[in-house]
Structure 1
Amino acid sequence: MINNINADVVVIGGGPAGLNAAIAAGRTGAKTVLIERYGFLGGMSTIALVYPWMTFHAEDGRQVIRGIAQEIIDRLMALGASPGHLRDTVGFVRTVTPYDPEIYKVLAMDMLHEAGVKLLLHSFVDEVQTEDNRIISITLTGKSGRFQVSGRVFVDTTGDADVAHLAGAPCELGRMGDGLTQPMTMKFRMKGVNVPAVKQYMIDHPDEFYYKTPFQELAQLPLTAVGGFSRHWKEWGPAIPRSDVLFFIGPADDEVLVNTTRVQGLDGTQVEDLTKAEEISRKQVLQVAEFMKKYLPGFEKATISQVGAQIGVRETRRIKGQYMLTMDDVIEGKKFPDVIGRSGYPIDLHDPKGNGVKAAWIQGDGTYDIPYGCLLPIKIVNLLAAGRCISTTHEALGTTRLSPSCMATGQAAGTAAALSLSYGDEPKNVPIEKLQHLLRANGVILNDADCRCEEAWDE
């Protein structure tokens, strides 16, 4: 039986948000614990093969997300595990950032150890103890039995707002009205792909691919992403509710990550729904792979090389926070006095019922602010949220759920959690100017004056 653990900051969830939160808190000297239910880190980036990271930049090429997120990219590049930021050859965003997930898993652990963070893998949160609207401890279940982790401040980066929900903090699930969520997707990799043949087909048949594909530059750009083959998809006539094929190149030169399966109408917080989603999506993987091998140029000798450890979940619970980011906020490029992070990713809303993806582009300078209030749940005073479960509407989640945005909110939440130890253990009491100063000192971009535009992207 493991002994009960005491900490200053307890982070639950080892995805991009949780990793950045724990590193940020640990680097301040706060006694920090990171809890992850799987045997490795990375969250959806590794568990569900969410690849590549999209995007660290505004549409005009200005980098708007840096800090610990960029440090991770720099260290991956030094290890030969990422080429850095490359142009998105689908054209949906300015850049994508490929990476080797296996090396990322190891680097994540190294960075946690360097920051003095205690890591607990194979540990699942199943109970939260509260008193006077304050979390006292959480109960974990694992191979060694059940044990408690006590803390002064907690950061929920579970993606599903599990801790907030168990603590009694108000949450929302899905879109207003019917509660439906964006569909789930089982991603998979195929190796043995003739990537030059794919690229040549795109150049020769531009009408079959996404309208924002940079065809005029395509011959000179490394192929990073492909959205299309719409004619082939339509002729195949699958039961999968999509209108085309989407895949990304890498990590190997002859390998692609396929993001094309789709499971709708199920709730990612319910065991029976998740079970059904796994069954449906794994059959879809075989169907899509067979289609690609049989019909798509360049895939004649391709085979499945990897399937996600679990289905990828885009949307479940979100906290009700001190502020709820809306679609209008994003589209208008709204700026907030309590900004703790920025993003240049547009609204990307996978239809809960239909076969399309609804997109809405950011106006103004092509960026929007994420305010601190989105990280502060109503009711529970010593809890922060980061990543996919921050306070947004269903529509605004279509941008904040992306990994670089999650990294940004994670660093902000971890920094705020550590800082709040000096302000009564309540994150809402943290002076926003102090928090913003610490974030900037650690490389975070909060406005255009913080940008280092000369390093915007690599071609």
Structure 2
Amino acid sequence: MNVLNKFKFCLLAFMMIFALGSCKSGEEQENITDVIVYGGTSGAITAAIQAKKMGKSVIMVSPDKHLGGLTAGGLGWTDTGKKEVIGGLSREFYQKIYDKYESESGWKWESQSDFGNKGQGTPAIDGEFRTMWIFEPHVAEEVFDDWVKELGIELYRDEWLDRESGVTVENGEITAIRTLSGKEFKGKMFIDATYEGDLMAASGVSYHVGREAGSVYNEEWNGIQTGVYDHRHHFQVLDNQIDPYWIPGDPSSGLIPKISSENPGVKGEGDNKIQAYCFRTCMSNHPDNRVPFPKPDNYDSSQYELLVRIFDAGWREWFGKFDMIPNRKTDTNNHGPFSSDNIGMNYEYPEANYERRKEIIKEHEDYQKGLLYFVANDPRVPKETQEEFQNWGLAKDEFIDNGNWPHQIYVREARRMVGEYVMTENELLQKKPTPESIGMGSYTIDSHNIQRYVDENGHVQNEGDIGVGLPGPYEISYGSIIPKKGEIKNLVVPVAVSASHIAFGSIRMEPVFMILGQSAATAAVMAINEGLSVQDLPYEKLRLQLISDGQVLKLEDQIK
């Protein structure tokens, strides 16, 4: 081979190698998605939709088989707050619900006129705004599924983050996440929209579990709240005279079930305990659309001895939170001193591995199913209560692949990020201004009970239930959905937000999660476009985009 031919051969080989290298680089680029949303909650869905609407590639990686979290998991009696501050995609969801019930096919088990129009602080069906705030679980799930499909969002269901080694971080940025099935997802921006904050925690971002002491953020309602009695979910409604021992007055006989032997702690101090969980059960009293309450395999009627004593003391509020949703169904929530909230049995849940979480969820399911079976069948239940309850059962046409039982437990709080800005009761009560609003909340500060114990007089008491009214809607800071500067640069957290325990008690409402999901995706997309970390994104540009997309950031922006 002469010199010229050698040169041509070498040049051709070099060009081929270069071309192959360029092709590989292009393939790698194609495999990097702009926005990866981890979660299947309502906030995850609005995040994915917003990213898609802004022209970015997006993948939803959902550990859940069913989309929508609590919104599609039984919480149809929406915690609306002031509806005028619910804007953007969150409002669009409730408009889509409205459209579903405009059709006659939406009213199978009753007529719309028979349903009435009662909602939580607002009409259930708002013709003026074409929104509907009260709905059945399966209708919410249909709306979410249709919405995601309509926009062509790539969705992976039942994919669980490998929390031990499934998050790749390089130079302060997440580059990829891997699920337990072995699937890997590379992205430019990541959004953790889970209730638990699993991606946030696995990436090394700061977070907190439990109640901070009141002194940490100068709050009145944080920390242990012994002696505070709200919502009638306590024993003061019975003059606090329920004996906790198997043999009344005899501590040596042992405590009856569901009462802790621990000291509740000192008022105002912090602890690692969280609000009680439950399932928002969907019941029906239509004879053709109800199934009897099932008896758990491990049913033990002695677990409900405390309820017997409450009934014997004269309590008759069993039906106090049978909130009616369309088609003669309920969104049934906790009510009273002993109810569906499984107090004190969820403390491990936020940090537990998946197997332990499944055990905790199963224990909650058995407890609550057993409770329903007990009231429907045990002879110690007051006759008038039992006879009325026997007209009810689980709704036959809801959660049909799960024995008519909700597929989502109500994770009222788990981990909460400690981010660039921590929302506290002071912002919610308007004692302190909120910087850089990305949306608004308006629901009462609401914590469910956290522990049940024996008080100093030898009687049963609940602790942790708080209901604090607000002077009006409040702003939520951009800093509350992004990690602290110096931590992860390309992660946004719209559900396990940076808030104190007591502030989270209001922020944790489903319409707000949808608002924050949209704002999180907007910030993620703009950070990509600007080539910046989420911490360095200019707020003014973000604000203008959010307003353009229909978000309500200040009270003067409210929808009228």
TM-score range, shorter chain: 0.7 to 0.9
Contact in 2 for aligned 1:16/1:43 (Cα 8 Å): yes
> What residue in structure 2 maps to residue 234 of structure 1?
310
Q: Tell me which of 118, 134, 142 is aligned to 1:106.
A: 142
DSSP 3-state at the match of 2:476: strand
Give the superposition deviation at 1:243. 9.5
> What residue in structure 2 maps to residue 171 of structure 1?
207
Counterpart AA for 1:428:
Q
Contact in 2 for aligned 1:333/1:367 (Cα 8 Å): no
> What residue in structure 2 maps to residue 332 of structure 1?
430
Counterpart AA for 1:272:
R
Contact in 2 for aligned 1:193/1:256 (Cα 8 Å): no
Distance 1:85 1:98, change over 3 A: farther
Aligned mates of 2:319, 2:514 — CA distance in 1: 29
DSSP 3-state at the match of 1:34: strand
Question: TM-score with structure 2 length normalisation?
Answer: 0.66
> What residue in structure 2 maps to residue 75 of structure 1?
96
Greater share of strand residues, 1 or 2? 1
> What residue in structure 2 maps to residue 268 of structure 1?
349
2:279 paired with 1:186:
yes
2:161 paired with 1:125:
yes
Give the superposition deviation at 1:438. 1.3
Q: Tell me which of 46, 49, 52 is aligned to 1:23.
A: 49
Contact in 2 for aligned 1:268/1:313 (Cα 8 Å): no
> What residue in structure 2 maps to residue 301 of structure 1?
391
State which drifts further: 439-448 or 159-168: 439-448
Aligned mates of 2:117, 2:433 — CA distance in 1: 27
Aligned mates of 2:309, 2:341 — CA distance in 1: 14
Aligned mates of 2:547, 2:40 — CA distance in 1: 24
Q: Tell me which of 420, 423, 426 is aligned to 1:322.
A: 420
Contact in 2 for aligned 1:262/1:281 (Cα 8 Å): no
Distance 1:162 1:123, change over 3 A: same
DSSP 3-state at the match of 1:439: helix
Aligned mates of 1:111, 1:85 — CA distance in 2: 28
> What residue in structure 2 maps to residue 65 of structure 1?
86
DSSP 3-state at the match of 1:181: coil
Contact in 1 for aligned 2:76/2:136 (Cα 8 Å): no
**Deviations, residues 266-322 of structure 1 (Å, cap 9, x unaligned):** 222324355144224423333235426854485342122332224321111011110
Counterpart AA for 2:90:
A
2:397 paired with 1:291:
no
Q: Tell me which of 136, 145, 165 is aligned to 2:175.
A: 136
Q: Tell me which of 415, 426, 431 is aligned to 2:538.
A: 431
Contact in 1 for aligned 2:176/2:187 (Cα 8 Å): yes
Give the superposition deviation at 1:6. 2.5
DSSP 3-state at the match of 1:71: helix
Aligned mates of 1:21, 1:236 — CA distance in 2: 49
Aligned mates of 1:22, 1:310 — CA distance in 2: 20
Question: TM-score with structure 1 length normalisation?
Answer: 0.79
DSSP 3-state at the match of 1:63: helix
Aligned residues: 398
Contact in 2 for aligned 1:153/1:426 (Cα 8 Å): no
DSSP 3-state at the match of 2:530: coil
Q: Tell me which of 70, 75, 81 is aligned to 1:44.
A: 70
Distance 1:87 1:334, change over 3 A: farther
Contact in 2 for aligned 1:32/1:116 (Cα 8 Å): no
Give the superposition deviation at 1:114. 3.4
> What residue in structure 2 maps to residue 225 of structure 1?
none
> What residue in structure 2 maps to residue 152 of structure 1?
188
Aligned mates of 1:420, 1:159 — CA distance in 2: 24
> What residue in structure 2 maps to residue 398 of structure 1?
505
Counterpart AA for 2:78:
W
The residue correspondences of 1:405-416 to structure 2 (distance < 5 A) are 405-416=512-523
Aligned mates of 2:445, 2:123 — CA distance in 1: 16
Counterpart AA for 1:103:
V
Distance 1:288 1:257, change over 3 A: same
Contact in 2 for aligned 1:268/1:274 (Cα 8 Å): no
Distance 1:34 1:74, change over 3 A: same
> What residue in structure 2 maps to residue 279 of structure 1?
363
2:330 paired with 1:256:
yes
* Structure 2: unaligned runs, 5 residues or longer: 1-27, 125-132, 213-269, 288-306, 335-339, 378-382, 396-403, 453-461
Contact in 2 for aligned 1:386/1:406 (Cα 8 Å): yes
State which drifts further: 349-358 or 6-15: 349-358
* Structure 1: unaligned runs, 5 residues or longer: 195-230, 454-459
Give the superposition deviation at 1:101. 2.3
**Deviations, residues 357-410 of structure 1 (Å, cap 9, x unaligned):** 3101112xx1111010001112111000012x0000011110111101111111
Counterpart AA for 2:281:
F
Aligned mates of 2:117, 2:134 — CA distance in 1: 8
Counterpart AA for 2:207:
C
> What residue in structure 2 maps to residue 246 of structure 1?
321
Aligned mates of 1:112, 1:17 — CA distance in 2: 13
**Deviations, residues 147-190 of structure 1 (Å, cap 9, x unaligned):** 21000010110111100111111111111232101011123222
Aligned mates of 2:515, 2:532 — CA distance in 1: 22
Counterpart AA for 2:545:
L
**Deviations, residues 75-115 of structure 1 (Å, cap 9, x unaligned):** 221121698996546xxx45662123223223223322333
Give the superposition deviation at 1:335. 4.3
Aligned mates of 1:287, 1:237 — CA distance in 2: 18
Give the superposition deviation at 1:233. 9.3
State which drifts further: 287-296 or 27-36: 287-296
Q: Tell me which of 350, 367, 378 is aligned to 2:473.
A: 367
Aligned mates of 1:369, 1:319 — CA distance in 2: 18
